[in-house]
Amino acid sequence: MTNRRSFIKKVSTLGAGIWAWPLIDNSFAKESQSVLSSIANVPPTELASDEDFWSWVRHNYTSSTNIINLNNGGVSPHPKVVQDAVQRFTELSNEAPSYYMWRIFEKGRESIRTKLADLGGVNAEEIAINRNTTEALDTIIFGFDMKKGDEFVTSNFIYPNMNQAWMQRELREGLVRKVAVLPMPSTDVKAIVKAYTDQFTSKTKVVLIEHVVNWTGQVLPVGEIAVEAKKRDIMVMVDGAHSFAHINFKISDLNCDYFGTSLHKWLCAPFGTGMLWMRKELISKHWALLPGPKPESDDVRKFEMLGTRDVPAELAVGQAIEFHLSIGAERKYERLHYLKQYWVTKVKDLDGFKLWCPEEKGFSGALTTFGLEGKTAKDIHDHLWKTSRIHTTTIKHEDIDGVRVTPNVYTSLKDLDLLVESIKSIG
């Protein structure tokens, strides 16, 4: 009873703008402070292989001991502090839903907006909180004023949901698609940029760029592509589903106009949480997917008209951000890249091994797709599952026929050793 009264008292501070993770979980805050102080002066590249530290991180998750989950690219589990926050907010909401959710918890969204803006290096008045990348990017795609004959540019590695949204505009309005055919894998920035600029014309209005390619893990040079687009007055939208809280960057670094991401992937936030960013000066000109009372408003909240929503999940995004920051963006990226290289290095010289993602930093993170000559994606996927209970996902796109492997910060080297053994045992 005392804990519940304490929690409600903390909730009541929302109106004063005090909504912080340490207030919710003091014990974890103290523990993390102790652990982090011990590695404060360790360079991120050195810490990447410090199994004692990453064991501490791993034990803050409740991942299965029976399944090795290497499909964190689809959706990641959230750490225990996030799960606990969702549970607390949900339990309190159920006592009087419309009171707590709409009169109390709604105020908490503003502090989450601020935290997300700080994480992205942008203005909080440019952040809309929604449910996933698809919702964010569809809001952008369907909100442009475009006419028949106007052109837009995508790549041959566009995500299916975005492809379908653009396809609908093509069919209904006569818009014209131009496709940048990307070299894959590639560390040739000029070649990647040229793939896009070759498709730009005087009729091009907008370009959609995948920051991290879903199919392969290739990181694209968004900033360099955006520079060329801006020279031609082309709007730049970025699919950041796999880059936010994974690759170490700020949205402000990308020189883009629009950015969408899913927070339940690399931020390890509650399932069904996402974010849209849009330059402030563009908000009033952009139509909302689900309109509010003032469609031409310059208030970014006009993109949040979702009706009844999972408010407890949204509030728990704050705990996910704090957990992410407790690790540190640079430390996290170095570990994720280290994990990918750990297993890739051990199998890349196998006969017939094919990797569709560069190994170099700056062009890759944790996510990568591999194949084996003479084996289909299904062959490899089924073997990993049957022999070692390793959960992955198959990739069949363009000339790719392989399996995508995506570890996360809670993945152990022991798990990856088992992956290596299983790959080597494929006959």
Three-state SS for the chain is CHHHHHHHHHHHHHHHCCCCHHHHCHHHHHHHHHHHHHCCCCCHHHHCCCHHHHHHHHCCCCCCCCCEECECCCCCCCCHHHHHHHHHHHHHHCCCHHHHHHHHHHHHHHHHHHHHHHHHCCCHHHEEEECCHHHHHHHHHHHCCCCCCCEEEEECCCCHHHHHHHHHHHHHHCCEEEEECCCCCCCCHHHHHHHHHCCCCCCEEEEEEECECCCCCCECCHHHHHHHHHHCCCEEEEECCCCCCCCCCCHHHCCCCEEEEECCCCCCCCCCCEEEEECHHHHCCCCCCCCCCCCCCCCHHHHHCCCCCCHHHHHCHHHHHHHHHHHCHHHHHHHHHHHHHHHHHHHCCCCCEEECCCCCCCCCCCCEEEEECCCCHHHHHHHHHHHHCEECEEEEECCEEEEEEECCCCCCHHHHHHHHHHHHCCC
3 state SS for 129-169: EECCHHHHHHHHHHHCCCCCCCEEEEECCCCHHHHHHHHHH
Query: Checking DSSP bridges between strand 235-239 and strand 258-262, what pairing results, if any?
Result: parallel
Does the pLDDT at position 372 exceed 50?
Answer: yes
pLDDT digits (tens, 9 = 90+) for 80-110: 999 999 999 999 999 999 998 888 888 888 9
Question: In angstroms, rounded to a whole number, what is the distance separating the alpha carbons of residues 300 and 298?
Answer: 6
Question: In angstroms, rounded to a whole number, what is the distance separating the alpha carbons of residues 220 and 206?
Answer: 17
Does the pLDDT at position 14 exceed 80?
Answer: no
Q: What is the pLDDT of residue 22?
A: 40
Q: What is the pLDDT of residue 26?
A: 67
- Average confidence (pLDDT) over 164-179: 98
Does the pLDDT at position 111 exceed 80?
Answer: yes
Does the pLDDT at position 65 exceed 70?
Answer: yes
Q: What is the pLDDT of residue 101?
A: 84
Does the pLDDT at position 385 exceed 60?
Answer: yes
- Average confidence (pLDDT) over 392-402: 97
Question: In angstroms, rounded to a whole number, what is the distance separating the alpha carbons of residues 184 and 397?
Answer: 12
Does the pLDDT at position 15 exceed 80?
Answer: no
pLDDT digits (tens, 9 = 90+) for 254-273: 999 999 999 999 999 999 99
Fold for domain 112-320? Aspartate Aminotransferase; domain 2 (3.40.640)
Using pLDDT thresholds of 50, 70 and 90, give the confidence band for residue 37: confident
State percent of the chain over pLDDT 90: 85
Q: What is the pLDDT of residue 38?
A: 86
Query: Is the pLDDT higher at 400 or at 20?
Result: 400
Q: What is the pLDDT of residue 3?
A: 52
Domains 112-320 and 330-424 share a fold: no
Does the pLDDT at position 348 exceed 80?
Answer: yes
Q: Residue 354 corresponds to which amino acid?
A: K
Predicted TM-score (pTM) of this structure:
0.92
Q: What is the pLDDT of residue 23?
A: 42
As a whole number, the mean pLDDT across the chain is 93
- Average confidence (pLDDT) over 201-205: 98
State percent of the chain over pLDDT 70: 93
Question: In angstroms, rounded to a whole number, what is the distance separating the alpha carbons of residues 277 and 122?
Answer: 9
Q: Residue 256 corresponds to which amino acid?
A: C
Using pLDDT thresholds of 50, 70 and 90, give the confidence band for residue 355: very high
286 is written with which tokens? Answer: 């952009």
Structural contact between residues 62 and 77, judged by C-beta atoms closer than 8 angstroms: yes
Which position has the token pair 């992956």? 419
Question: In angstroms, rounded to a whole number, what is the distance separating the alpha carbons of residues 292 and 296?
Answer: 9
Question: Which of 64-73, 96-105, 115-124, 322-331 comes out lowest in average pLDDT?
Answer: 96-105
- Average confidence (pLDDT) over 61-85: 94
Q: What is the pLDDT of residue 267?
A: 98
Does the pLDDT at position 12 exceed 70?
Answer: no
Homologous superfamily of 330-424: Aspartate Aminotransferase, domain 1 (3.90.1150.10)
Question: Which of 244-248, 287-291, 305-309 comes out lowest in average pLDDT?
Answer: 305-309
Q: What is the pLDDT of residue 5?
A: 52
Does the pLDDT at position 18 exceed 50?
Answer: no
Each domain of the chain, given as residue ranges in start order, spans 112-320, 330-424
> Edge-to-edge, what's the strand order for the sheet holding 127-130?
127-130, 274-278, 258-262, 235-239, 204-210, 151-155, 176-180
Q: What is the pLDDT of residue 16?
A: 34
Question: In angstroms, rounded to a whole number, what is the distance separating the alpha carbons of residues 95 and 147?
Answer: 50
Does the pLDDT at position 286 exceed 90?
Answer: yes
Question: In angstroms, rounded to a whole number, what is the distance separating the alpha carbons of residues 276 and 292?
Answer: 16
As a whole number of angstroms, the longest Cα–Cα distance in the chain is: 67
